[in-house]
Structure 1
Amino acid sequence: MGNKENVLAIIEQTKVISIIRGVRETYAARLIDALLDGGIRCLEITLNTPGALNIIKEARKREGIVVGAGTVLSLEDAQKAIEAGAQFILSPSLSVDIIKYCNSKDILPVPGVFSPTELYTASQAGAELIKVFPAGSVGPRYIKDLLGPFSGMKLLPVGGVSTDNTKEFMKAGAFAVGVGSYLANAELAKCGDFEEITKRAQSFIALAHNA
């Protein structure tokens, strides 16, 4: 099984990607372990987090998880992240160049789209998993509506995903969800409350699987 297939399989199994943004590098290792203790196996470290490439390298030391880079806005960003060990590349926007580059490296590209036209363009360019962002502003119904004409596409709602709507997003047909600061919470990490992060991880995993 290639890297892309392996990453997709683990995302499908666990259904929750924890997005690590703005967490100080000092707390990163303990935060990652707290998420793993709660059942998270898919991590996204955003490149606008100080020390992001080092955090990616740290995360890759763990067994049985997949580590992605987020907020990838250029081909150069994608190259640096992949060199640091990123196994998938997420963007808030759609870049056909990044999709093609990642596919040539057996790295899963996850472009960000919002409209049906962007969704179709991303799929035609070779994206297998497509991030719908910002999903919270339109809600789970939008995922269901997109899957009407685009049946079978793998959609990842990101932005505003919470314990209140995770179940609904999955019921609407989402392949998985991306969860930001409510889960990998910078303030909780700073305070050393890693138990709460583990509890939140368990909650999201349970909600995604019980949909």
Structure 2
Amino acid sequence: MSDSLQNRLIQTRVVPVLRYGDAESALYAADIAIRAGFECIELTWTIPNVLDVLRNLRQQHGAAVLLGVGTLMEEDQAQRALDAGADFLVSPGLATDLVAPAHEAGKLCLLGAFTPSEVMAAIQARADIVKVFPADTGGLTHLAALRAVFSSTLFCPTGGVSAQNMHDYFRAGANVVGIGSSLFDKQAFAARDTDRLLAAARHTLEAAHGKPA
């Protein structure tokens, strides 16, 4: 099952990383992203009542949308996320304890890494995808250097990736990218300008699956 999930996640090209201070905003953002055509959503553990948000989305969309929980740091968090229906787990660092419960459940685990040694540790821990975080700290040359050494590793840079620079990251070696706060215009989101938000999200998704300008 995990191979199928891995292929689906990679094919999405972009994972919206939703980090909000209340559950209602997270649900609204997820609804916009899914209506725009995104087939994968990452909810951060920092969202209040995040597991209720996850269950709500799972009830609405079933298996049609890949749902993950990020900013996980402990095995107990991982198990609770899996029990609530997560398809994939994401950690900002080398939380290797997350891998076993994810794989036992037939789900994916993305471990955060930045240095070559951390990438090696993530590979040795059997992470399905290595999350290069924070991506913008090292930038494109850093990712390209990692890709040159770890040619068969799947990379997902997150942190500073946007619709404007995502193709630069793809060229540097990303297999999939995580886009967080830049996915939605803050003023449009605060105003709940659904039409504007949908149009921008669709444009980002179309651009991700098309060719860079």
TM-score by length of 1: 0.91
Aligned to 2:18: 20
Aligned to 1:52: 50
Aligned to 2:129: 129
1:140 to partner: Cα distance: 2.0
1:138 partner SS: helix
Native 8 Å contact 1:19 1:184 kept in 2:
no
Aligned to 2:140: 140
Native 8 Å contact 1:22 1:49 kept in 2:
yes
- Across the two proteins, how many residue pairs are aligned to each other? 209
Native 8 Å contact 2:75 2:98 kept in 1:
yes
Aligned to 1:108: 108
1:112 partner SS: strand
Q: How large is the RMSD of aligned CA atoms in angstroms?
A: 1.7
1:29 to partner: Cα distance: 3.5
1:148 partner SS: helix
Native 8 Å contact 2:35 2:198 kept in 1:
yes
1:100 to partner: Cα distance: 2.3
Native 8 Å contact 2:163 2:183 kept in 1:
no
Unaligned runs of 5+ in 1: none
Q: 1:131 to 1:20 in 2, by over 3 A?
A: same
Aligned to 1:70: 70
1:111 partner SS: strand
1:167 is aligned to 2:167: yes
Partner Cα distance (1:154, 1:197) in 2? 30
TM-score by length of 2: 0.91
1:117 to partner: Cα distance: 0.5
Partner Cα distance (1:185, 1:46) in 2? 19
Native 8 Å contact 1:35 1:184 kept in 2:
no
Give the % identical residues: 30
Partner Cα distance (1:50, 1:156) in 2? 25
